[in-house]
């Protein structure tokens, strides 16, 4: 994986309109959004840009507005685990920013991306004055937490093929439908790392899912028999009920 140094091709403030579209700021009023915008920058960055690095201070909260960002953790021997791949609307390093801890993960853009970077010191000053912002961010932190708990359970309880099945069902959104056609949002190397398997095991997992109606053509995936795939992969139904209303 390529980790070039930070290189923002343009830097500017995000608009209040943009912040209004971001889920974690949706319960705020425009006055608070304006104060957040004043301590934020809108970054447009090329693919393979390191946004922040494991071990360094968490000086900015990032919210992704366009593109894809991979969060990874490297062990002392150099093994790299992709903890999560962030899609537009997602945010990262919130917990470490709020707690003023060093970063546990490195974030790099998997595609050209646009991000809102909120200055950590500015954010802490705002938190002391705007209880609604604190509430929104605590809730966002808990959602992050729940996603990690789900991932821990997924890794402990399911095979790679089942994990892949759950992932595809999650992408297909409409689980009530009998079939679905979808595109993998990121490349198979990154998908293997996110699922916690080697690339050859990912190929084997796709092969195993053929019996449950999963057809692949590169990044295009067709789910011919969602009920059969659900029965095999056993996605956690409770998750959907636990999303905030």
Residues making contact with a copy of itself (CB under 8 A): 54-55, 73, 75-77, 79, 81-83, 95-96, 98-102, 104-105, 128, 131, 134, 138-139, 141-146, 148-153, 155-157, 193, 196, 234, 236-238, 241-242, 244
Q: Pick the closer one to a copy of itself by CB: 16 or 204.
A: 204
Question: Any alpha helices (H) in 88-159, and if so which ranges?
Answer: 94-99, 120-129, 131-157
Q: Taking a C-beta distance cutoff of 8 angstroms, is the pair 5, 48 a contact?
A: no
Q: Pick the closer one to a copy of itself by CB: 43 or 190.
A: 190
Q: Taking a C-beta distance cutoff of 8 angstroms, is the pair 101, 55 a contact?
A: no
CB of 56 to a copy of itself, least distance (A): 11
Residue found by looking up tokens 């209303």 in the block:
245
Pick from 38, 45, 35, 55: nearest CA to 5: 45
Q: Pick the closer one to a copy of itself by CB: 38 or 101.
A: 101
Q: Pick the closer one to a copy of itself by CB: 42 or 168.
A: 168
CB of 62 to a copy of itself, least distance (A): 16
Q: Give the integer Cα–Cα distance in Å for 156 and 228.
A: 22
Q: How many helices (H) and strands (E) does the chain have?
A: 10, 12
Q: Pick the closer one to a copy of itself by CB: 43 or 226.
A: 226
CB of 237 to a copy of itself, least distance (A): 5
CB of 66 to a copy of itself, least distance (A): 25
Which residues, in sequence order, are CB contacts of 2 under 8 Å at separation 6+? Answer: 48
Q: Pick the closer one to a copy of itself by CB: 59 or 144.
A: 144
CB of 159 to a copy of itself, least distance (A): 12
Which residues, in sequence order, are CB contacts of 11 under 8 Å at separation 6+? Answer: 41, 42, 43
Total count of residues recorded for the chain: 245
CB of 240 to a copy of itself, least distance (A): 11
């Amino acid at each position: 994986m390529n980790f070039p140094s930070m290189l923002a091709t343009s830097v500017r403030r995000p608009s209040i309109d943009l912040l209004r579209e971001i889920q974690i700021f949706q319960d705020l009023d425009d006055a608070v959004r304006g104060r957040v915008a004043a301590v934020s920058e809108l970054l447009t960055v090329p693919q393979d840009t390191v946004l922040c690095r494991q071990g360094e201070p968490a000086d900015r909260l990032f919210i992704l507005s366009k593109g894809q960002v991979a969060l990874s953790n490297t062990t002392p021997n150099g093994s790299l685990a992709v903890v999560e791949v962030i899609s537009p609307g997602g945010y990262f390093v919130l917990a470490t920013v709020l707690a003023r801890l060093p970063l546990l993960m490195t974030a790099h853009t998997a595609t050209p991306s646009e991000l809102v970077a909120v200055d950590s010191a500015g954010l802490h000053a705002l938190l002391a004055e705007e209880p609604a912002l604190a509430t929104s961010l605590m809730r966002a932190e808990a959602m992050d937490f729940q996603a990690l708990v789900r991932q821990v359970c997924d890794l402990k309880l399911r095979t790679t093929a089942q994990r892949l099945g759950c992932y595809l069902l999650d992408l297909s959104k409409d689980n009530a439908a009998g079939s679905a056609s979808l595109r993998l949002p990121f490349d198979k190397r990154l998908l293997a790392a996110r699922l916690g398997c080697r690339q050859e095991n990912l190929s084997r997992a796709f092969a195993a899912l053929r019996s449950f109606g999963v057809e692949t053509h590169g990044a295009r995936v067709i789910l011919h028999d969602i009920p059969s795939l659900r029965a095999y992969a056993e996605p956690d139904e409770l998750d959907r009920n636990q999303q905030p209303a």
